[in-house]
Amino acid sequence: MKDLTKTLRQISLSAWFGIVVVSVYILVAFFAPVIAPYGETEIVGGVFEPWSDEFLLGTDNLGRDLYSRLVYGARNTVGIAILTTLLAFAFGSLMGVLSATIGGWLDQLMGRSVDVLMAIPQLIFALLLLTIFGTSIINMILIIALLDSTRVYRLSRAAAVNVVAMDYIEAAKLRGEGLGYLIFREILPNITAPLVAEFGLRFCYVFLLISALSFLGLGIQPPTADWGSMVRESANLISFGEVTPLIPALAIALLTVAVNFIADWFLHRSTGLKG
């Protein structure tokens, strides 16, 4: 308990800001049906109605309530980004640890393939793969997870190589433990700190990439409420001095900044860097 209060007091102001913002997002995502006055795809009024008591942020190009869609967007956009990042981490870290443990030709093969995958800019590669496999949410999640897992692979391999050289791994091998035991019981628990710190940063990256693709009309498809495509749908209003299209974009930006603040603080704490 004392430790907890001590940790809480050491959290920097910017990290507190991040924690509060992220908590609000999580609450909104969970209680979306309670918070939103209308349904996600429900057409409730005229096209592009202005802000009013009935429609807090007005309506969009089809007459759907923008405020409700913003609330549901927290669920869809953030949920899909988290799912993608988790997939990337599951695949990337498993592969990274595997090639650090087995070494030899597998390590060489994985390393060189990752080098090549990373040489092509991520957005361009994602666009190429989306053309080949077609644009759908599932395809987008798998493609971004695959492309992002290369970064996770690099990190987890680098961290695991240090662990593999330890005596207790040697001891476990001599005991006759299998590969699964080595990876899940001995190596992974010892590299969680850098992986967790990286998770925040990778999440931001994936989140921005998904938003960008959705904004281009190639990511999350209508009628699913999503912040990237919401900006696209109402973008024309901005030339008339309306701030409404900026709000979903602001929701994206705010979450990214908040997660960055938390990740920054966590990184400082776990590496013992001060200042």
> Which range in 32-40, 53-61, 158-166, 245-253 contacts another protein by CB under 8 A?
245-253
Q: Which of 215, 219, 230, 233 binds another protein (CB under 8 A)?
A: 215
Does 44 bind another protein (CB under 8 A)? Our answer is no
Does 235 bind another protein (CB under 8 A)? Our answer is yes
Does 131 bind another protein (CB under 8 A)? Our answer is yes
Does 130 bind another protein (CB under 8 A)? Our answer is yes
Does 190 bind another protein (CB under 8 A)? Our answer is no
- For the chain, the 3-state helix, strand and coil shares in percent, each to the nearest 5, are 75, 0, 20
CA distance 144 to 142: 6
CA distance 182 to 188: 9
> Which range in 18-26, 125-133, 170-178, 186-194 contacts another protein by CB under 8 A?
125-133
Q: Minimum distance between the CB of residue 260 and another protein, rounded to whole angstroms?
A: 5
CA R_g for the chain: 22
> Which range in 57-65, 121-129, 155-163, 179-187 contacts another protein by CB under 8 A?
121-129
Q: Which of 19, 256, 268, 269 binds another protein (CB under 8 A)?
A: 256
CA distance 92 to 86: 10
Residues 214/226, Cβ–Cβ less than 8 Å? yes
Q: Minimum distance between the CB of residue 70 and another protein, rounded to whole angstroms?
A: 15
CA 177 to chain centre: 35
Does 217 bind another protein (CB under 8 A)? Our answer is yes
SS (H, E, C) 49-97: CCCCCCCCCCECCCCEEHHHHHHHHHHHHHHHHHHHHHHHHHHHHHHHH
CA distance 54 to 126: 40
In the complex with another protein, the residue whose CB is nearer, 41 or 135, is 135
How many residues contact another protein, by CB under 8 A? 41
Q: Which of 204, 206, 220, 230 binds another protein (CB under 8 A)?
A: 204
Residues 204/83, Cβ–Cβ less than 8 Å? no
**Of 88, 248, 229, 103, which Cα lies nearest the Cα of 169?**
103
Q: Which of 181, 246, 267, 268 binds another protein (CB under 8 A)?
A: 246
Task: Give the residues lining the site for another protein (CB under 8 A).
Answer: 116, 119-121, 123-125, 127-135, 204, 208, 211-212, 215-218, 228, 231, 235, 238-241, 243, 245-246, 249-250, 252-253, 256-257, 260
